[in-house]
Structure 1
Amino acid sequence: FINKGRAAIAAGERSIFDMAPPEETNTAMIVFTSGTTSKPKGAELTLRGMAAFAEYAQCRLNVGRGDRSLMVLPLHHIFGVCATYFMLAHGVALGVCPDFRRLYDAVERFRANCICLVPALAEILAEKISQRASSAEEALGSPIDWILIGGAPLPRRVYESLVSLGVQPLTAYGLTETTALYSIATYGDDPHVGSAGRACDLPGIETRVSDDGMLLIRGPNVLKGYYRDTDATSKVLSDDGWFRTGDYGHIDEDGFVWVTGRASRTIVLSSGKKIAPEELEERILALPGMREAVVSGDGDTREIRAEIYAVIPEESARREIAALNNTLPVYKRLRTVVVRDKPFPRTDSGKIKLERSLEAVVEHVTPLTTGSVESGNSARTAIGRSIRPPGIVMILLTAAAIAVPVLGLVPHLLAHEGVDLPASVSRLFTFIDLAGELLLGLLALLLVLKIWDKRR
């Protein structure tokens, strides 16, 4: 093929290079979703969607030929593709960092002043800088004006760390299906910490919240459909072009987007109450020493459980979680907590692989636990215990509640046979009768508490 091309050029034949001009609605690329909570799907994205991202990002970030950036994110992920396209479209000098483990060295060598990262990489960079100096400019020899962070929620501690180093973290929210475009924070603007930036306000792009609280978007940046999957497409894309993001949230009066949780991760308790695990994860990550957390619902009992990676001793982690539980409404309290000794596995884009978390849960956590805790395997150690009696205790109490009253029938049976018992033995059986009644009462109380606890 190459030789044919060379021969055609030598002969002055150009027709083989003639192509029909691309249409804005043509499929420009097929990017697969990350697959953190479901099977990856190929989103067909258009040329006009790419152009919309570049235009909107420029309105928020205002980059140009004097800026320098790095290509760090993988190009098979929508954030990496769009960030690279955006930088090149506006004349930014773009270096390549093929190994994220050398991110700090690459930033220092290339003197990058504006970078697009996922939270995990932003945290790594902040830690490297803080180990060397009190500011990014002092450590690197040149300032980092901003870091655009997307792909996952930005923990507050990472945000505060970057700010303390003189770097402005800018949050962005988007999906593969929206060509990475929904909202971006503005450089130099009020950050509205915790938000996902301002909702896109380009002509032709609309955002709103559905009646059930889900964020919706319509415009040229929305996918044409999932590649060869009409069923999946029909579930997220309405006939009039509205795309259901799968995220719950709201847009405030200033136009900032607040994402409260992923619909597919929502925990529905047996009481019918709905809980966003992201809310609890944020509370956990705000605790000292907590680095990663995944909260989910127990499929059998519909209770809340969490798996945590902490960099503090187990006992300290146990106390922190117990204290947090005391501040939560009863129905939101963590019933099961597992502490890991290493970080969670992640996707190439930096997201935690949710389907591989919470594999081996062995104990329960109580809101008011203060006692010692048995240690388990070093890879996963449970902390705390349940407020409900363990199963073996319930079994023993039930057996005793049945056996003791039966034993109390002995003197009556003997009397029926004409056998007289000594007074001391009769008093003993009277005590046994009383103990049986107390055991039955205790068992009834525990059953009531267990039913009440299930309904919370």
Structure 2
Amino acid sequence: MSDTQSFIESRPPSVAHLFLDRVEATPDVEAYRYPVPAAAGGPDEWLSLTWSQAAERVFNIAAGLMALGVRPEERVAIASSTRLEWILSDMGVMCAGAATTTVYPSTNADETAYILSDSNSRVLVAEDAAQLAKARERRAELPDLRHVVLIDPVTEVPGDGDDDWVLTLAELEKRGAAHREQNPECIKETVAGLRPEQLATLIYTSGTTGRPKGVRLAHDSWSYLGRAIHATGLLNPDDMQYLWLPLAHVFGKVLIASQVSIGHPTAVDGRVDKIIEHLPIVRPTYMAAVPRIFEKVYNGVAAKARAGGGAKYKIFKWAAEVAREYAKVTQENFRRTGKASAPFGLTAKHAVADKLVYAKIREAFGGRMRACVSGSAALAPEIGYFFSGAGIHILEGYGLTESSAASFVNPGEAYRTGTVGKPVPGTEVRIAEDGEILLRGPGIMQGYHGLPEKTAEVLEEDGWFHTGDIGELSEDGYLKITDRKKDLIKTSGGKYIAPTEVEGQFKAVCPFVSNVLVIGAARNFCTALIALDEPSIMGWAKENGLGGKSYAEVVASPQVEKLVKGYVDRLNEGLQRWQQIKKFRVLPRDLDIEHGELTPSLKLKRPVVEREFKGLIDEMYAGSNEA
């Protein structure tokens, strides 16, 4: 057995065990860094907790939950944005032997009530008054919900007929401290009793139709992935992670498990609008993100260059092409020889472009970024190559809620843009006859909560999980995702098209796009709905005689129609005839979570978008005599 296999096989039963081991091993090392907003609207102040300081709060939360009567495997829901208290609460739930139900703070009252009810959650850790209001509104439907714990205390809690129903997190910790005084060994004894197969987390997938399904993930899934990511060697104890991803999402959740195993500090702040401001302050070496963040950074850099005048924009476009060429050449040479080399002429051009453009981009990321991990959706390869050539190495990965997020990741220096890398140690993969990716390993879910028929549809008796994604494996084990099985579209002419592939190519061509949806199933040609990035297009509008107009007026203008058509024409030049976009419509607004068109992890909900803009779609196909 190799050292890697031995390291993973010898894992403890749970992340709670890993946490206790981490606290004992490095009690005085920084664990978490978190922002405290300045009173007068100035820059946030960053404070930190050592592992022992974090443990004190975690153990008090765990003991507080025990004092409230929470028992092993009973569910405690967390409805909060990404912040330090989310992590402390989740770790507290695990150290109490209970299971965390994750709830996005953007979830409406109806769906929140459904998740709380379906999961039989006994306690809800609510971020603020808004999250409390959702539970209170449906309290009559939630007989199992015994308590709500408020992270941010409200000045006045209206009477609920039960003074003990709502308490603050500070009060819970105080109760926990008292409980620990009376039962000094309660945490150690509870953690010692945890079994690998016990339920640790219920994560509800945001389905495009119907109610979300609760994915049951055992303690062993998180312990395994904590150790497996540790074993890849991608991260080390000296790294600094910037964590902003939603912790209600499996991608964010797995980052907690790996951090506990490795022991590096993490700066935690879920405010997306603060990322650009905070990166130069935190100066992380590592950050995980979804493709939309990299697309926004790319569009922002391009817009800034354009605003600087024709000469600056010309330099940027030249530097962008050099970055892509350099990345492709160095990655290919690394694949062949193990050395990321490039010809002298290209290296010289790259050095000039670095001084003019790339160095500023790296500085915006904090100046120390070794690597970013991208997951949750496909990253357009041309955007990946751009950042790679600029010295921001984006390691694409792949996983699902049902596989505890991290099934594949690109291996450090040997990463290949356009692939999701190799399986993490301990995960098996095979490609079915129809191209579907099947996975097996300790990260795979136990099943869907209370839905045995739905579980049987995707999980075979021998442990193979049907991902619903189509992909191909290279001879040396790199996986390329080509599309979602259910998203592959077939034209009326019998041609299959992978819409996400076309959409990704358009994002690389057009620096103004925010979201794009390709349509063509059972139609005789393809069309697209295109939403534009507001800051980028409004900057362009100001320079092109449309200053003072609203976003809706700008995107409806003939000038923007002509602008976008130019990019669609460029896209079509590189596509097969049946893939080409024959017609398009620019949407009057961007797609968003509030209208239900994007999931909280910013994935497109295709059926929702198609329903919302059915009129525009019908308009594009009017009179086409489609089959």
Report the TM-score when normalising by structure 2. Answer: 0.54
1:156 aligns with 2:409: no
2:613 alignment partner AA: A
Mapped contact 1:151–1:173 kept (Cα < 8 A):
yes
Mapped contact 1:146–1:170 kept (Cα < 8 A):
yes
1:360 aligns with 2:613: yes
1:195 alignment partner AA: T
1:249 alignment partner AA: G
1:121 aligns with 2:298: no
Residue 454 of structure 2 is matched in structure 1 by 232
How far the C-alpha of 1:17 sits from its partner, in A, is 7.4
Determine the C-alpha separation between the residues in 2 that align with 1:7 and 1:331: 69
Residue 320 of structure 1 is matched in structure 2 by 567
SS of residue matched to 1:152 = coil
* CA RMSD of superposed structures (Å): 3.1
Say which is worse superposed, 136-145 or 212-221, in terms of deviation.
136-145
The 3 A distance-change label for structure 1 pair 339 and 4 is closer
1:144 aligns with 2:383: no
Determine the C-alpha separation between the residues in 1 that align with 2:590 and 2:468: 27
Residue 195 of structure 1 is matched in structure 2 by 419
2:529 alignment partner AA: E
How far the C-alpha of 1:4 sits from its partner, in A, is 7.5
1:132-158 residue CA offsets vs partner (Å, 9 max, x unmatched): 964244446632111111111112343
Residue 332 of structure 1 is matched in structure 2 by 579
The 3 A distance-change label for structure 1 pair 108 and 297 is same
1:94-147 residue CA offsets vs partner (Å, 9 max, x unmatched): 111131111022222111110111112233455667859642444466321111
1:216-248 residue CA offsets vs partner (Å, 9 max, x unmatched): 001111100001111110110011111000000
Q: Looking at secondary structure, tell me which structure has more helix per residue.
A: 2
Task: Determine which of 399, 402, 411 is the counterpart of 1:177.
Answer: 402
Mapped contact 2:440–2:465 kept (Cα < 8 A):
yes
1:384-430 residue CA offsets vs partner (Å, 9 max, x unmatched): x77x9x48xxxxxxxxxxxxxxxxxxxxxxxxxxxxxxxxxxxxxxx
Residue 113 of structure 2 is matched in structure 1 by none
2:517 alignment partner AA: V
Residue 285 of structure 1 is matched in structure 2 by 507
Residue 23 of structure 1 is matched in structure 2 by 195
Gaps of 5+ in 1: 366-381, 392-449
Residue 406 of structure 1 is matched in structure 2 by none
The 3 A distance-change label for structure 1 pair 194 and 15 is closer
Residue 590 of structure 2 is matched in structure 1 by 343
In the TM superposition, 1:300-315 aligns within 5 A as 301=523, 303-310=525-532, 311=537, 313-315=560-562
The 3 A distance-change label for structure 1 pair 125 and 58 is farther
Determine the C-alpha separation between the residues in 2 that align with 1:142 and 1:364: 45
1:198 alignment partner AA: K
Determine the C-alpha separation between the residues in 2 that align with 1:126 and 1:363: 29
The 3 A distance-change label for structure 1 pair 9 and 360 is closer
The 3 A distance-change label for structure 1 pair 125 and 271 is closer
Task: Determine which of 222, 232, 243 is the counterpart of 1:50.
Answer: 222
In the TM superposition, 1:268-279 aligns within 5 A as 268-279=490-501
Determine the C-alpha separation between the residues in 2 that align with 1:350 and 1:337: 22
SS of residue matched to 1:264 = helix
1:70 alignment partner AA: Y
Determine the C-alpha separation between the residues in 2 that align with 1:25 and 1:120: 35
1:167 aligns with 2:392: yes
The 3 A distance-change label for structure 1 pair 220 and 287 is same
1:287-337 residue CA offsets vs partner (Å, 9 max, x unmatched): 2345231113356x4753321124472113224324544654443333542
How far the C-alpha of 1:249 sits from its partner, in A, is 0.7
Determine the C-alpha separation between the residues in 2 that align with 1:67 and 1:168: 15
Determine the C-alpha separation between the residues in 2 that align with 1:153 and 1:37: 22
The 3 A distance-change label for structure 1 pair 34 and 162 is farther
Mapped contact 2:398–2:407 kept (Cα < 8 A):
yes
Residue 517 of structure 2 is matched in structure 1 by 294
Say which is worse superposed, 263-272 or 129-138, in terms of deviation.
129-138
1:259-303 residue CA offsets vs partner (Å, 9 max, x unmatched): 01101212123344332212221232232345231113356x475
Task: Determine which of 255, 262, 267 is the counterpart of 2:477.
Answer: 255
Mapped contact 2:281–2:366 kept (Cα < 8 A):
no
SS of residue matched to 1:357 = helix
SS of residue matched to 1:188 = helix
SS of residue matched to 1:70 = strand
The 3 A distance-change label for structure 1 pair 157 and 68 is same
1:110 aligns with 2:285: no
Q: Which has the larger radius of gyration?
A: 1
1:337 alignment partner AA: F
The 3 A distance-change label for structure 1 pair 41 and 198 is same
Residue 434 of structure 1 is matched in structure 2 by none
2:379 alignment partner AA: L
Mapped contact 2:398–2:408 kept (Cα < 8 A):
yes
Determine the C-alpha separation between the residues in 2 that align with 1:323 and 1:128: 21
Residue 397 of structure 1 is matched in structure 2 by none
The 3 A distance-change label for structure 1 pair 337 and 8 is closer
Determine the C-alpha separation between the residues in 1 that align with 2:418 and 2:181: 60
Mapped contact 1:336–1:364 kept (Cα < 8 A):
no
Residue 204 of structure 2 is matched in structure 1 by 32
Residue 74 of structure 1 is matched in structure 2 by 246
Mapped contact 2:234–2:411 kept (Cα < 8 A):
no
Determine the C-alpha separation between the residues in 1 that align with 2:208 and 2:202: 18
SS of residue matched to 2:591 = coil
Gaps of 5+ in 2: 1-66, 68-171, 306-356, 541-559, 593-597
The 3 A distance-change label for structure 1 pair 89 and 303 is same
The 3 A distance-change label for structure 1 pair 141 and 73 is closer
Mapped contact 1:171–1:196 kept (Cα < 8 A):
yes
